[in-house]
Amino acid sequence: MTRASREQQHGHQGVVLWFTGLSGSGKSTVAGALEQALHRIGVSTYLLDGDNVRHGLCRDLGFSDDDRKENIRRVGEVAKLMVDAGLVVLTAFISHHLTLGAMRRNKGSEHHESG
């Protein structure tokens, strides 16, 4: 299977939308509202945010600079796989400067940033 065939099945391109900002600034709220709106019109989406990632994929990490970098690196890798599956991936994270690095590593994926 190719990314193009998956995107054709979904009827849209896979893309990562990065929502970044300060704690409590509404990133997850805005990303969640957008996910619901996209879902209503038939877009296949998934929201990755600090809550759902920290309780599973990154439960072994703390909040040191190195752990925060690893958290974002893992999110970037998961988002890349989801984009390859043809999904619109919404990510909501605090670490703006770290997400830029993750976005750069996802060069083969479409990505957009808000924050």
Q: Hey, which residues are catalytic here?
A: 95
Of the candidates 78, 86, 8, the one whose C-alpha atom is nearest the C-alpha of residue 70 is 78
| Residue 75 contacts residue 53 (beta carbons within 8 Å) | yes
